[in-house]
Amino acid sequence: MKSKLMSLLAALSLSTLAVPAIAEDAHPNMPFGAKALDIYRTVIEFKSTAEHGETPAMARYLADQFRDGGFADDDIFLFEIGNAAGLIVRYHGDGTSGKAPVSISAHMDVVEANPADWVRDPFKLTEEDGYFFARGAADDKLGVVATTVAFLRLKAEGWVPNRDLIIAFSGDEETGMLTTRALVQDHLALTNSEFVLNADSGGATLPDGGGRPVSFAMQAAEKTYATWQLTITNPGGHSSRPRNDNAIYELADALIKIREFKFPVRANELTRRYFKFTGERTPGPKGEAMQAFAADPTDADAVQVLRADPGIVGTTGTTCVATMLAGGHAENALPQSATATVNCRIFPGEGVAATEATLRDVVGNDAVEFNMISNPTETDPSPLREDVLAALQKAVDNKFPGLEIVPYMSSGGTDGMHFRAAGIPSYGVNGGYSKAGDTFAHGLNERILQQSFYDNLAHWYVLLKAIAGDS
Ligand SMILES: [Zn+2]
């Protein structure tokens, strides 16, 4: 894999010598720009969370958009699982390439948002200071809208791809991922493809002071997502008669041990290559640490610098963190139970069972019950493909001519893992350009630069034409 990767990167560097002309504009008045904003505003207003359950309604709305855009009923397939939904839309090619279809994935659901915590209504699109604010503004209604609109625009222009393109939207990526599994298991006949382009990851970080990003990141691997509930039970009693055994205290002790524990440093060919490339282009101690780590992942000083950065720590090994807490039943009673949720992102190859064993060791208290509450899918990195890299380069060149693409491993779990597990390589290639300080996905006041919204429309338009056409 090393030599192939190196030659691909060398080829990419060469391609920067011949920079193509800017092809596609990206602004509110671009073709389908107004339509895109209308769809974006509408899908943001669907509370497509696990709790509110409006994902099926959003899927029906999108299906209508495709129908109105000229896609046949037979090529639009919507399915529901619980209060989530999946949507599959086939864009028929003329088959002249002789190649298998390409799928495009994104997720319609969003993480829950409590309006009381937000400055602005999370389920209304707010335009302010050059940004779009809303839950899902970035993750991942940005990707849903850009890919949907690319289909609509290309169809309206009469473009016929040389291979089938398939939209495969999931509807519970942020929670159970049942619809994602269904896309590649129950509905594989509709989604089977040579590879999948994922609109839920990929992109570049814009320097705060303006100018060009260091590189464009393409997700080609991801860590394994696994969540445990840790529970302590206790007979409880009257709070006027406290004892040393106390479910809340014991659980707190366990969590503090997990906080203090650092999983061993891990590296693979992809992450070392990523750190070398990015380090050479990152100024200061961080860039030096990246290069030192790439050369020698046991370099303790480099590890310390990299692990101090929340955006980087996940690339250096497995991480686990407490995310939820519940306990007790009355203010004047000793707690009968206390439960914490611990979410882990496991480095490829480390293993879910081994991670649980490590956590049990770290906690060192047999009274703590471990219950796996996620359904982990472990996958290997996707092979780097010249056709994907070349097509993506065209889309990237449209915004930043010659900007180099760096494959990376993502620390978050995406739909890509289920495609990978089904034998379909997945590449995170969304044209998400954002400033380092703007990453509020899953958190409060999620936002995206307005310009980036339009850039991503142009990005997918160019990318799909390149992947299934001559240009
Ligand atoms: Zn997402």
Ligand 1 centre and the CA of 107: distance in Å? Answer: 7
Query: How distant, in Å, are the alpha carbons of 192, 260, 319 from that of 228?
Result: 32, 18, 13
Considering the chain, what percentage of its residues have pLDDT values greater than 90?
85
Ligand 1 centre and the CA of 173: distance in Å? Answer: 7
Question: CA 280, CA 404: separation in Å to the nearest integer?
Answer: 13
Lowest mean pLDDT segment, chosen from 10-19, 145-154, 213-222, 233-242: 10-19
Asked if pLDDT for residue 72 goes beyond 90, the answer is yes
Same domain, 249 and 218: no
pLDDT of residue 223: 93
pLDDT of residue 438: 77
Same domain, 39 and 171: yes
Ligand 1 centre and the CA of 50: distance in Å? Answer: 14
Helix (H) or strand (E) holding 196: strand 195-198
Ligand 1 centre and the CA of 448: distance in Å? Answer: 14
**Reported confidence tier of residue 13, pLDDT bands at 50, 70, 90:** very low
Ligand 1 centre and the CA of 371: distance in Å? Answer: 25
- Other C-beta atoms within 10 Å of 391: how many? 23
Contacts of 265 (CB under 8 A, 6+ apart): 297, 298, 303, 316, 317
Whether residue 128 contacts residue 137, with contact meaning beta carbons closer than 8 Å, is answered with no
Q: Structure tokens of 267?
A: 């590296």
Asked if pLDDT for residue 100 goes beyond 70, the answer is yes
Asked if pLDDT for residue 7 goes beyond 70, the answer is no
Q: Structure tokens of 206?
A: 């814009």
Same domain, 265 and 125: no
Give the mean pLDDT of 127-140: 95
Point out the domain boundary residue: 351, 372, 393: 372
Ligand 1 centre and the CA of 240: distance in Å? Answer: 47
Give the mean pLDDT of 81-106: 97
Q: Find which of 17-26, 79-88, 211-220 is predicted with most confidence, using mean pLDDT.
A: 79-88
Question: CA 293, CA 22: separation in Å to the nearest integer?
Answer: 37
Query: How distant, in Å, are the alpha carbons of 57, 135, 224, 378 from that of 43?
Result: 10, 10, 29, 31
Same domain, 144 and 239: no
Ligand 1 centre and the CA of 174: distance in Å? Answer: 7
Point out the domain boundary residue: 372, 398, 433: 372
Question: CA 229, CA 422: separation in Å to the nearest integer?
Answer: 28
DSSP classification of residue 203: B
pLDDT of residue 442: 67
pLDDT of residue 5: 43
pLDDT of residue 209: 87
pLDDT, tens digit (0-9, with 9 covering 90-100), for 445-465: 899 999 999 999 999 999 999
Considering the chain, what percentage of its residues have pLDDT values greater than 70?
94
Q: For residue 277, what are the domain limits?
A: 224-372
Residue-wise over 291-318: b if at least 16 C-beta within 10 A, else e?
bbbbeebebeebbebbbeeeebbbbbbb
pLDDT of residue 19: 47
**Reported confidence tier of residue 182, pLDDT bands at 50, 70, 90:** very high
Ligand 1 centre and the CA of 245: distance in Å? Answer: 41
Asked if pLDDT for residue 3 goes beyond 50, the answer is no
Ligand 1 centre and the CA of 433: distance in Å? Answer: 15
Give the mean pLDDT of 221-246: 96
Same domain, 61 and 14: yes
CATH number of the domain where residue 138 is located: 3.40.630.10
Ligand 1 centre and the CA of 19: distance in Å? Answer: 32
Asked if pLDDT for residue 18 goes beyond 80, the answer is no
Whether residue 395 contacts residue 431, with contact meaning beta carbons closer than 8 Å, is answered with yes
pLDDT of residue 471: 54
Ligand 1 centre and the CA of 139: distance in Å? Answer: 5
Three-class SS state of 300: helix
Asked if pLDDT for residue 270 goes beyond 90, the answer is no
Ligand 1 centre and the CA of 199: distance in Å? Answer: 9
> What's the total number of domains in the chain?
2
Same domain, 363 and 269: yes
Ligand 1 centre and the CA of 296: distance in Å? Answer: 32
CATH number of the domain where residue 291 is located: 3.30.70.360
Ligand 1 centre and the CA of 410: distance in Å? Answer: 12
Ligand 1 centre and the CA of 162: distance in Å? Answer: 29
Ligand 1 centre and the CA of 186: distance in Å? Answer: 22
Whether residue 463 contacts residue 132, with contact meaning beta carbons closer than 8 Å, is answered with no
Ligand 1 centre and the CA of 263: distance in Å? Answer: 25
Same domain, 382 and 335: no
Instruction: Give me the residue label for tokens 């906690």.
Output: 363
Point out the domain boundary residue: 372, 402, 425: 372
Ligand 1 centre and the CA of 444: distance in Å? Answer: 15
Same domain, 392 and 455: yes
Closest CA to 88 of 24, 218, 180: 180
pTM score, two decimals? 0.82
Same domain, 179 and 40: yes
Cα torsion angle, 381, 413, 148, 170, sign: positive
Closest CA to 29 of 463, 459, 454: 454
The 3 state secondary structure assigned to 360-424 is HHHHCCCCCEEEECCCCCCCCCCCCCHHHHHHHHHHHHHHCCCCCEEEEEECCCCCHHHHHHCCC
Ligand 1 centre and the CA of 465: distance in Å? Answer: 24
Ligand 1 centre and the CA of 200: distance in Å? Answer: 5
Whether residue 11 contacts residue 386, with contact meaning beta carbons closer than 8 Å, is answered with yes
Instruction: Tell me phi and psi for residue 36, to 5 degrees.
Output: -60, -45
Give the mean pLDDT of 415-433: 95
- Other C-beta atoms within 10 Å of 264: how many? 10
Asked if pLDDT for residue 116 goes beyond 50, the answer is yes
Ligand 1 centre and the CA of 177: distance in Å? Answer: 11
Same domain, 366 and 385: no
Same domain, 84 and 191: yes
Same domain, 209 and 269: no
- Specify burial of residue 210 (Cβ count, 10 A radius: 0-12, 13-18, 19+): exposed
Ligand 1 centre and the CA of 140: distance in Å? Answer: 5
**Reported confidence tier of residue 1, pLDDT bands at 50, 70, 90:** very low
Asked if pLDDT for residue 424 goes beyond 60, the answer is yes
pLDDT of residue 439: 65
